[in-house]
């Protein structure tokens, strides 16, 4: 490690606040960018599952029958 | 060749492609981001002029580079949508817009944070920074325009035109530091000639640029998969997939 201690790493000669704030503010949108489409996809998937069950349409032939 | 291009116009094929690629691209992205960040934050040496504040480079530059490249991806999708009326190109354009906007926002915010200890100001109306702000508005404009239309085909056409017109801004951003007097430093990484950055600082930066490209790809694919699932909710191929799980 380039820094001698964890305190030095945190402080970075007075620049730590800027560096850590920049990394934190980058991490937040990245998490949202990944999490949102996964959440949306799961919602859509559950909706399609529920709709298929409700309508009782056998769209998959034998495969659909066995799944029910 | 044409068969591959035709496959990219098929929603079931693209959906399955997303489903196959995401599970291995996601771990690669996470590992690359973690290794690149730890390398840049903990092991790269301090800059003799800027001190440790330069470590913001490992997120600022990759975000800016991919924000520009992402715009070309969106413009290419817009062109395909406009010329060949491929619906999947609309989906790709729509999927890329929020990701590009987030990348541009990251580049602007981290740039502002880096500007404070380096220039003594959070923000200056400098050519590079202002043109990046315009890029952010272009991304947001595409999202807003798509939502503003009831008719989604007309929305896609309008967005494609806006996207294509906006490509003018990309070379302006790139060359702004050469064309105008700017506080922003010129490019440190050069494809021709020697880079103005030491290899001990360059390698983690290249890794982070790669990681941000992977993140862009994986998030666009995630968005496209969610969009395809909703747009084709009544399609038999999707219902078969749902019932097969």
Reported ipTM: the value is 0.89
- At A67 the pLDDT is 36
Residue of B nearest to A60 (CA): B240
- On whether residue A68 sits in a domain, the answer given is no
- On whether residue A1 sits in a domain, the answer given is no
CA angle B100, B101, B104 (to 5 degrees): 85
Residues paired with B51 in a beta bridge: B47
* pLDDT class of B72 with cuts at 50, 70, 90: very high
- On whether residue A15 sits in a domain, the answer given is yes
pTM of the model: 0.90
- What is the distance between the alpha carbons of residues B227 and B146, in angstroms, rounded to a whole number? 14
Tokens of B217: 């790809």
Nearest to A45 by CA among B197, B84, B242: B242
- What is the distance between the alpha carbons of residues A32 and A24, in angstroms, rounded to a whole number? 13
- On whether residue A64 sits in a domain, the answer given is no
Domain that holds residue A49: 6-55
Q: Between A2, A22, A59, which is nearest B56 by CB?
A: A22
- What is the distance between the alpha carbons of residues B56 and A26, in angstroms, rounded to a whole number? 10
What domains can you pick out in chain B, each with its CATH number? 21-43+51-184+199-231 (1.20.120)
Encode pLDDT of B191-221 as tens digits.
666 777 888 999 999 999 999 999 999 999 9
Per-residue pLDDT, averaged over B102-122, amounts to: 95
- On whether residue A63 sits in a domain, the answer given is no
Q: Between A16, A29, A34, which is nearest B106 by CB?
A: A29
Residues of B with CB under 8 A from a CB of A: 33, 37, 41-46, 51-53, 55-56, 59-60, 63, 98-99, 102, 105-106, 109-110, 113-114, 116-117, 215, 218-219, 222-223, 225-226, 229-230, 233, 236, 238-240, 242-244
Q: Which residue has the higher pLDDT, B165 or A65?
A: B165
pLDDT more than 90, % of chain B: 70
- What is the distance between the alpha carbons of residues B177 and B107, in angstroms, rounded to a whole number? 16
- On whether residue A65 sits in a domain, the answer given is no
Residue B223 above 90 pLDDT?
yes
Residue A68 above 80 pLDDT?
no
- At B237 the pLDDT is 87
Torsion sign across C-alpha atoms B214, B11, B230, B157: positive
């Amino acid at each position: 490690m380039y820094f001698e201690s964890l305190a030095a790493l945190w402080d970075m000669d007075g620049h730590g606040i800027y560096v850590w704030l920049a990394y934190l503010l980058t991490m937040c949108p990245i998490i949202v960018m990944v999490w949102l489409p996964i959440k949306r996809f799961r919602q859509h998937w559950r909706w399609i599952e529920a709709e298929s069950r409700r309508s009782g349409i056998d769209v998959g032939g034998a495969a659909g029958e066995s799944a029910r | 060749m044409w068969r591959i291009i035709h496959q990219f116009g098929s929603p079931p094929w693209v959906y399955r492609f997303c489903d196959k690629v995401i599970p291995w691209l996601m771990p690669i992205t996470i590992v690359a981001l973690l290794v690149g960040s730890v390398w840049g934050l903990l092991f790269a040496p301090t800059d003799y002029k800027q001190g440790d504040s330069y470590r913001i480079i490992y997120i600022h530059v990759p975000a800016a580079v991919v924000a520009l490249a992402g715009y070309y991806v969106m413009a290419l999708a817009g062109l395909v949508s406009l010329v060949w009326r491929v619906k999947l190109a609309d989906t790709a354009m729509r999927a890329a817009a929020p990701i590009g906007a987030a990348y541009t926002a990251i580049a602007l915010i981290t740039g502002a944070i880096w500007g404070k200890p380096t220039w003594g100001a959070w923000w200056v109306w400098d050519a590079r920074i202002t043109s990046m702000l315009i890029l952010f508005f272009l991304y947001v404009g595409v999202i807003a325009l798509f939502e503003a239309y009831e008719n989604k085909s007309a929305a896609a056409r309008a967005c494609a035109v806006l996207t294509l017109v906006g490509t003018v801004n990309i070379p302006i951003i790139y060359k702004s530091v050469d064309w105008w007097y700017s506080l922003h430093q010129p490019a440190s990484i050069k494809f021709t000639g020697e880079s103005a950055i030491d290899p001990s600082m360059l390698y983690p930066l290249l890794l982070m640029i790669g990681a941000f490209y992977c993140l862009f790809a994986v998030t666009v694919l995630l968005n496209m998969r969610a969009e395809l699932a909703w747009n084709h909710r009544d399609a038999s191929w999707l219902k078969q997939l749902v019932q097969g799980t």
